Structure 1
Amino acid sequence: MDERYVEWCAACDWNVDPGEPDPEPGRIAAVRRRLAREYGEQLSAEMERGADGSGPQARDATTALAFGVSLLVHALTAVLLVTGVLLVVLGWETGVQPVVGVLLLALAAVLRPRPVRLPKDEPVLYRADAPRLFELIDEVGTAVGTAGVHAVVVEPAANAAVTTYGLRQRRVMYLGLGLWEILSPQERVALLGHELGHFANGDLRRARVTAGALHSLSVWSYVLAPTDPRQLLDRFVNAAIFLPRWAVYGLLLLLDRLTLRASQRAEYLADVSAARAGSTEAAVGLMDRLLVSGSVEAELRREAVAAQMRGGRGAREARDRAEQGLWERVAAFAGAVPEREYERLRRAAARRGHSVDSTHPPTHLRRRCAAAGGPHPAGVVHDTARAAAVSAELAPARAVLARRVIRDHAG
């Protein structure tokens, strides 16, 4: 028995999940997690029966109501903006109104929908920087029925995502090396297919109007959070904001209910895109790798701590050695995980309702749907030569991020 892995019984599930239960999330996160499990199970059953998750009329009504609630939230931000301007411009004689106006303008500035900006502290690749990578992304996009992206942000995290940035809403993909490096070539195609599938299939929760409203409501929830009642004034303030706080909470729950099911459906459809692009086998393999993503993050931290353990004159050389081959060691770490451990993780995930976050369907349900939806052959073949060419284009980013992982954690 390998001491790195948990000893458990496959027949009776003894010790299948020996870790501590997930920490209790906040009220909103707990509701989202419950809805994610509920909708995930419902949609999983519907997808496995061959349905796409809901009828078009129901989706249209839900979308219209979600956009209506979102516009109401944005209208409130607009009211704050206009009121703030009027108080500043017309209230100079009182001396108090301009101060209140500035506070309202500051709050409106925080609440306003803002376009995503590309990070300045992460490697950003454009088509001229990595033509083979963008060629692969374009081919996967064609396979799933959409276009490619304008930029790729390379990160150390064991994750991936897509969104839009700037006023022109250009597409960007966030590619986490912690996940990319532990995948096989076809699993990488499946990952690209899943992320681009969000553009192809749409996602109500990611729409600019609803995403901005969710952001605004989250800010309101934070601003109106009750304070510790240590003084009489604290109790008065908590009482004064009681009704607004619960109104915001109710709107946030309503918008969550209107968008979470559509978001869950979008995840399942993105998994279908992953299977069509990379093959059913690759999509299922991708789900398994997501189960060890937390272990990959821990391994990156362990590498950094090990590098800093050697102090003195040899500290710099130790960090240099740790940076060299970091991603290869991470891939070897994930590649050494035996099938028995993956099976344990799958069973533990089913017990806990594991998901990437509180808005995703449980991973074990996504894996089951991906396996039941095929078999799909590979729509895009990512052979050894092509994988080597893409890896060479990512080499500068890999070196920069290896240095950051080691030095930031060891610093």
Structure 2
Amino acid sequence: MTGARAADPALCPKCSSPVADDPRFTSWCPACEWNLDPTPAPAPAGSARERRRAEHRDRKEAAARRTVRARVERVYTATAAGRSAVRDPAWLGAAVLAGAVHLTTLALAAGALVLLIAAPTWPLRVLGLFAALLVCALRPRLGRLPRDSALLRRGDAPALFALTDRVVQALGGRPVDTVLVTREFNARFGRIGLRRRRVLWLGLPLWAVLTPGERLAMLGHETGHQVNADSRRGLWLRSALAALDEWEELTRPALYRPSFGTFVELAAAALLQLLMRPFNLAARALLDLLDRLTLRSGQAAEYRADRLAADLAGREAAIGLLHTLMLRQTVTTSLQRMRADHARRPAGRTGAPAPTAGPWQELAARTAAVPPLERERLLRLSAREFGTVDSSHPPTHLRLAMLGSRPPTPARLRPAAAEWAAIDAELAPAARRIAADLELGG
């Protein structure tokens, strides 16, 4: 990143090995992994009772992490060995459980309708109204176009849509209907609305820091979700997960814990908490079960999407994409510093230093300047903490290992430089708008 002083040599306080003390990034030791995670440890509990509770909580969290690690590693091993079926007994169980969730919602809807229409007393009608509101909260969300994103249709970005058409044709998918340019360091593909329009979310901070090959790999990975048999992205399972999550939220006892009130009100709230707790525990158990049943198929689908990206853009480009995705916090910090630099720059003053390039070019330069040692730290931290891009993806280091085990592959598509330039020109209005929203200047 621009303006940083050269790294000063230092010694590790734990093993005395040389470390690079770069002020822009965390100083750590590759030999013994001292300070690999600079997050400070929580303060020790005060009383003996609090310490016992903290130790019990830490043991439970450690056991949960070990369980998750074992499951994820089994998925990796099965996928690497070619034993990950698209439809397995776990997927069938998840589909049946999702059906039970949807039948519960339908039963509630039917009961609400009967009470609202045919109930003989007003308390029953009030109960019907409550059930109707509950059904409204549990209904499947079909999605809608967000208002804080730049929406691009085919006439707005012909070069971009021409490239996505070539990508989906190579992968055997269907053309994208809409592209949404967002301010997120992310990209995703999904279907929204009653017509199930195919939408590609394109995060401009991510797009700006990727190389052309990595951009192609990202398009291949995201649009590859059409053909990688990811059951969790289907409306049936996704809406069931959302309904169970809503059940867990609505029955959480903390929602019924008033901070003050009369004795009768507090006693009623305590009784309501006791009544809600079994429902909350049941919702959490079912949510965890459905998540377990879909873990294998969902993560295996992500590995397949990575393979599609590598087949399309080349293995090295797909690996580079995953390395860049680990720089989320670095990019966020860079954007914050760029915003602060822009705020300190006097308006209308020619004597103030200004960047020679636009904000997105500056962000790309800052990201490209991340040293290999910092990238290695993030990779090792992913392996230690089983870090992921988000909770629905396998750990990044396992995705890299899966791609690294494949033989090198050349890119099937090679867009010309003029094509990339045309796409950047089409994205320029959205880029200026997002830069203004983020107060980056330019």
Gaps of 5+ in 1: none
Q: Given the two structures, how large is their TM-score scaled by the length of structure 1?
A: 0.89
Candidates 7, 10, 24, aligned match of 2:30 = 10
| Matching of residue 400 in structure 1 with residue 429 in structure 2 | no
- SS of the residue corresponding to residue 190 of structure 2 reads strand
Candidates 102, 127, 140, aligned match of 2:167 = 140
Counterpart for residue 189 of structure 1: 216
Letter in 1 for 2:32: C
Deviations 1:31-69 (A, max 9, x none): 9976653333223223333x1x4246xx34222221111
* CA shift for structure 1 position 128: 1.2
Counterpart for residue 143 of structure 2: 116
Counterpart for residue 280 of structure 1: 315
Letter in 2 for 1:199: Q
Counterpart for residue 199 of structure 1: 226
Counterpart for residue 411 of structure 2: 378
Letter in 1 for 2:246: V
Summarize the Cα distance change of 1:197–1:84 in structure 2 as closer, same or farther, 3 Å threshold: same
Counterpart for residue 235 of structure 1: 270
Counterpart for residue 354 of structure 1: 387
* CA shift for structure 1 position 189: 0.4
| Matching of residue 335 in structure 1 with residue 335 in structure 2 | no
Kept in 2: contact 1:32–1:256 (CA 8 A): no
Letter in 2 for 1:338: P
Deviations 1:340-359 (A, max 9, x none): 22112111221111101222
Counterpart for residue 165 of structure 1: 192
Q: Take 2:269 and 2:168, find their aligned partners in 1: how far apart are those partners?
A: 54
Counterpart for residue 78 of structure 1: 106
Gaps of 5+ in 2: 1-6, 8-21, 43-53, 260-265
Q: Take 2:228 and 2:71, find their aligned partners in 1: how far apart are those partners?
A: 18
* CA shift for structure 1 position 30: 9.8
Deviations 1:114-162 (A, max 9, x none): 2111112210111111111111111111222222311110011110111
Summarize the Cα distance change of 1:74–1:207 in structure 2 as closer, same or farther, 3 Å threshold: same
Letter in 2 for 1:153: L
Deviations 1:283-315 (A, max 9, x none): 11011101111211222233234434568xx39
Counterpart for residue 39 of structure 1: 71
Candidates 262, 269, 283, aligned match of 1:248 = 283
Deviations 1:359-411 (A, max 9, x none): 2111011011112123111011133222111101111111111111118x9xx
Q: Take 1:107 and 1:293, find their aligned partners in 2: how far apart are those partners?
A: 37
Deviations 1:244-299 (A, max 9, x none): 22221221111111111111101111110110111100011011101111211222
Q: Take 1:40 and 1:251, find their aligned partners in 2: how far apart are those partners?
A: 20
Deviations 1:84-139 (A, max 9, x none): 11111122x52222222111111101111121111122101111111111111111
Candidates 325, 342, 346, aligned match of 1:290 = 325
Letter in 2 for 1:13: E
More moved, 324-333 vs 227-236 = 227-236
State the Cα RMSD in Å: 2.8
Percent of residue pairs bearing the same amino acid type: 39
Kept in 2: contact 1:229–1:235 (CA 8 A): no
The structure showing larger relative contact order (alpha-carbon pairs under 8 Å, at least 6 residues apart) is 1
Q: Take 2:410 and 2:64, find their aligned partners in 1: how far apart are those partners?
A: 35
Counterpart for residue 294 of structure 2: 259
Deviations 1:166-198 (A, max 9, x none): 112121010101111111000000001111121
- SS of the residue corresponding to residue 262 of structure 1 reads helix
Counterpart for residue 224 of structure 1: 251
Letter in 1 for 2:327: V
Kept in 2: contact 1:158–1:179 (CA 8 A): yes
What is the count of residue pairs matched by the alignment? Answer: 395
Letter in 2 for 1:63: W
Summarize the Cα distance change of 1:206–1:337 in structure 2 as closer, same or farther, 3 Å threshold: same
Q: Take 1:354 and 1:293, find their aligned partners in 2: how far apart are those partners?
A: 12
Kept in 2: contact 1:48–1:373 (CA 8 A): no
- SS of the residue corresponding to residue 96 of structure 1 reads helix
Q: Given the two structures, how large is their TM-score scaled by the length of structure 2?
A: 0.83
Kept in 1: contact 2:252–2:277 (CA 8 A): no
Q: Take 2:64 and 2:340, find their aligned partners in 1: how far apart are those partners?
A: 35
Summarize the Cα distance change of 1:32–1:12 in structure 2 as closer, same or farther, 3 Å threshold: closer
Q: Take 1:152 and 1:75, find their aligned partners in 2: how far apart are those partners?
A: 34
Question: Which is higher, the Rg of structure 1 or of structure 2?
Answer: 2
Summarize the Cα distance change of 1:32–1:150 in structure 2 as closer, same or farther, 3 Å threshold: farther
The structure richer in helix per residue is: 1
Summarize the Cα distance change of 1:317–1:209 in structure 2 as closer, same or farther, 3 Å threshold: farther
Summarize the Cα distance change of 1:125–1:39 in structure 2 as closer, same or farther, 3 Å threshold: farther
